[in-house]
Copies of this chain bind each other. A is one copy, B any other.
Amino acid sequence: MTYAMIGTWRMAFEGIQKAMADLKNGGQSTDAIETAIKKVEDYPFFKSVSYGGLPNAQGLVEMDAAFMDGNTFAIGAVAGISDVKNPISVARQLSDDHFNSFLVGAGASQYAMFNGFESRNMLTERAHKIWMQRIKEINEKNLSPYDGHDTVGMVSLDQAAGMAAGTSTSGLFMKKPGRTGDSALSGSGFYVDSEIGGATATGLGEDLMKGCLSYEIVRLMGTGLSPQAACDQAVYPFVEKLKKRYGKAGEFSLVALNNQGEWGVATNVEFTFAAGNQDAAPQIFMANPGPSQTTVIEPISAEWLEAYAKRIKAPVE
C-alpha cells in the first residue's frame, strides 16, 4: 500500500526519515506528523522553529503550530505560545476538542503547562547571540529586521489512506510581540482532506494569508490536477495578482501531497524540501521558479548540503 511524506526545507529531512520508517510499518499519518515535526522542533541548530528558534523583538521565543487530521478535518492550533518544548504536540492534543481548539498567547502557554506538556526555556545561547548580532546589523547596516521566516510544514499519507498535516515555527525574525503568520491558520498555512490530499506553506505569512493557498491547492487537486499542476496553478498566478494589487509579494513556497503519494511544489524563491514515498526513500530536493509559471526541481547537491551543515553550526560571535 501507498505511504508518503513531504515537508518544507532541508530541516524536514531527518524527521521525515524517522516518521516514514513508522509509516512503512503501518503507522498512522497523524503520528507521523507529530514524530517528524518534533524532531525538527528539538534540533537546536534550526533557528526558525521551536528550540533554538530566534526570539521576537522583545527577546521571547513565541511559537506557532497547527495540526490537522485529513480524515475528520479536526484542527488544533496555537499561536504566540512560549516555554513549551513541543508546540506541535500541544496543537495535536487540541485537535481532539470540538471547542477551544485554537489557543493564543498566555492562554495557550497556560494550557500546555496545565496539561503536563514539557516546559522548556526555548531560548538557546546560540539563538540569543544571533539575535544580538542581528540587532547590531539592523542598526549598523539598515537591514530589514524581517528577513527570515522558515516554517516547517509537513503532509503525510499512511497505508490506510489516512492523511494529516502539521506546521511549527518561531515565526518572522524580529517579529513584534504577539505577531502570528499563516502557520496556525487553516487554509493558509496548511490544509488536508484524506479523500484528496494536503498542502502546507512557508514564507511571509502576512502575504500567504492573502491567498489561502494551501486550501486552493487541495481544492485544485480535488478537480483532478496532479499536485505539481495544482501548486503551479495556485501559486504563480497569485504571486502576479499580489504584485499587481498589493504592489509587492513576499517570498513563499508551498508543498503538496495527494492521496496516491504523488507530490508537487511551487515557490517564488530558492527553496529546499524533503519528500519520499513507498517507491522512493526520502531525499532532499531544491526547487526554483522556472519559466512560464512552472517549478524546476532537482536533487540537492552534496556541496549544498555540506555548506548548509557548516552554516547552521558556524560559530557565532
Contacts and interface: CB of A to CB of B under 8 A. Distances in A.
A136 to B, nearest CB: 20
Given A172-B100, A212-B186, A178 B108 contact: yes
A107 B102 CA distance: 17
A181 to B, nearest CB: 7
A201 B88 CA distance: 27
Interface stretch (A74-82, A283-291, A296-304): A74-82
A42 to B, nearest CB: 24
A191 interface: yes
Interface in A179-205: 179-181, 185-188, 191, 204-205
A75 to B, nearest CB: 6
**How many subunits of this chain does the assembly comprise?**
2
Using C-beta atoms within 8 Å of the partner chain, give the interface range for chain A: 35 or more
A210 interface: yes
Contact of A186 (B99, B107, B188): B188
A100 B212 contact: no
Interface string A22-65: 00000000000000000000000000000000000000001000
5 contacts: A98-B206, A100-B179, A102-B179, A111-B176, A186-B187
Interface of A: 62, 71-75, 79-80, 97-108, 110-111, 146, 172, 175-181, 185-188, 191, 204-207, 209-212, 215-216, 219, 242, 245-248, 250
